[in-house]
Amino acid sequence: MSISRRTILKYSSLGGAAVATAGLPRFAIGGTAKIKVGVMLPFTGTYAALGEQGINGLKLALAGQGNKLGGREVEIVTLDDESDPSRAPANATKLIKGDNVDLLYGTVHSGVVMGMVKVARETETLLVIPNAGAAAATGAMCAPNIFRTSFSNWQPAFPMGKVAYDKGYRTAVTMTWKYGAGTESVDAFKEAFEAAGGKVVKEILVPFPDVEFQANLADIANTKADVVYVFFAGGGAVKFVKDYASAGLRKTIPLVGAGFLTEGTLAAQGEAAEGLLTTLHYADGLDLPANRKFRAEYKKAYGKEADLYGVQAYDAGMLLVTGFGAVKGDTAAKADLYSAMGRTVLDSPRGAISFSAAHNPVQDIYLREVRKGENVVVGIAGKAVTDPARGCKMGA
């Protein structure tokens, strides 16, 4: 797949027409105006810590460029999306029409990002996604103007299916919040676990962002399955891991998950998280120059340790730096901007990443084990894992 020629021509001709009508040298006005970035992130609720890393990482990348993109000053407008999908289209529209932002950046929650995707497509506004893994964003709803620097929900979950089977587990229970990220994550685990010969015997869904897990933990105890796979993140992940340990289940049924379960949460989870196996495209301790540099800079700037969510945000900033650098800050040069972004290879703190034709990262998935309060890399669960991008017609 590649971005269709027709789409590129459409964008080029729009840019050309605007220049001709204005009768000005290309990009005479834009050169002095600021580039406005409209940020939607959860600054409150169960994903608040993820939102904080999501803005910090972006600002860190921009600070490294003197707060400029392609030579133009950057202005950031932020909005707390509260992980509320119902308000997402109105929030994204407000940023574009009310605040006149040049591009959208966000968010954490898969349901909210789908509202942003809809508005970005309708208004042909650039959208860069620093976390939310909704399959459709780089699948059925993929578009030349939509990029993701994080993952699809499938990516970290699928490799765990084989890992679990190879550890000798044959029956599994899955549990998650009932919304896109949760269901896509457990479906991907199930896809790989059952393809290997295992069987998912029970699938438990709880409303987002509920953290009343007791009744479900009692159900899990009764199933006598070999393993439990979950997707939880942020505040909900802290609560789930502690409840699982308190219920005494750690001794009877091993718990595994997509790495969000133990990401940015270990200090709060303490002893309850020791020994947990997860799969993710990052680990704090990765011994790579880019990771050491990023973590030191993040700590210096914010007085806190970075985690995956900061990495993905930093990479989103660096993707913008490369793209706008290539077009010298010309927001009207859409075809050139998107093609430069699509070709970018980032020296990410997680290891090098490139972008698939659907604009989702191609990346290694690490197997991690919590040891002494740290996610330690114990193997590679998947090499250069590419999301299947089901339904993406871009460039077909």
Does residue 192 bind ligand PHB (CB under 6 A)?
Answer: no
Does residue 181 bind ligand PHB (CB under 6 A)?
Answer: yes
- Piece of the chain touching ligand PHB by CB under 6 A; list 27-35, 72-80, 104-112, 370-378: 104-112
- Piece of the chain touching ligand PHB by CB under 6 A; list 97-105, 131-139, 335-343, 372-380: 131-139
Q: Per-residue x/- mask for ligand PHB, residues 58 to 97, rule CB under 6 A? A: ----------------------------------------
Q: Per-residue x/- mask for ligand PHB, residues 193 to 232, rule CB under 6 A? A: ----------------------------------------
Does residue 117 bind ligand PHB (CB under 6 A)?
Answer: no
Nearest Cα residue to 149 out of 123, 126, 174: 126
CB 395 within 8 A of CB 357: yes
Does residue 152 bind ligand PHB (CB under 6 A)?
Answer: no
Does residue 311 bind ligand PHB (CB under 6 A)?
Answer: no
Task: Say how far apart CA 45 and CA 222 lie, in whole Å.
Answer: 32
Does residue 108 bind ligand PHB (CB under 6 A)?
Answer: yes
Could you tell me the CA-to-CA distances from 30 to 67, 201, 298 in Å, in that order? 16, 58, 31
Dig out the tokens for 394 from the structure: 């871009």
- Piece of the chain touching ligand PHB by CB under 6 A; list 127-135, 190-198, 240-248, 292-300: 127-135
Query: Measured from the CB of residue 50, what is the shortest distance to ligand PHB in angstroms?
Result: 6
Does residue 186 bind ligand PHB (CB under 6 A)?
Answer: no
**Which C-beta is closer to ligand PHB: that of 152 or that of 339?**
152
Q: What single DSSP character describes residue 98? A: I
Whether the bond into 107 is cis, omega within 30 of 0? yes
* E strand segments, 56-159: 68-69, 72-80, 103-105, 126-129, 146-148
Task: Say how far apart CA 232 and CA 135 lie, in whole Å.
Answer: 17
Does residue 291 bind ligand PHB (CB under 6 A)?
Answer: no
Task: Say how far apart CA 99 and CA 358 lie, in whole Å.
Answer: 29
Does residue 132 bind ligand PHB (CB under 6 A)?
Answer: yes
CB 322 within 8 A of CB 344: yes
∠ CA 357-135-158, nearest 5°, is 95
Query: Measured from the CB of residue 138, what is the shortest distance to ligand PHB in angstroms?
Result: 12
Q: What SS3 class is residue 183?
A: helix
CB 60 within 8 A of CB 20: no
* Residue 328 one-letter amino acid: K
Does residue 239 bind ligand PHB (CB under 6 A)?
Answer: no
Where on the chain is the footprint of ligand PHB (CB under 6 A)?
Answer: 50, 108-110, 131-134, 153, 181, 233, 260
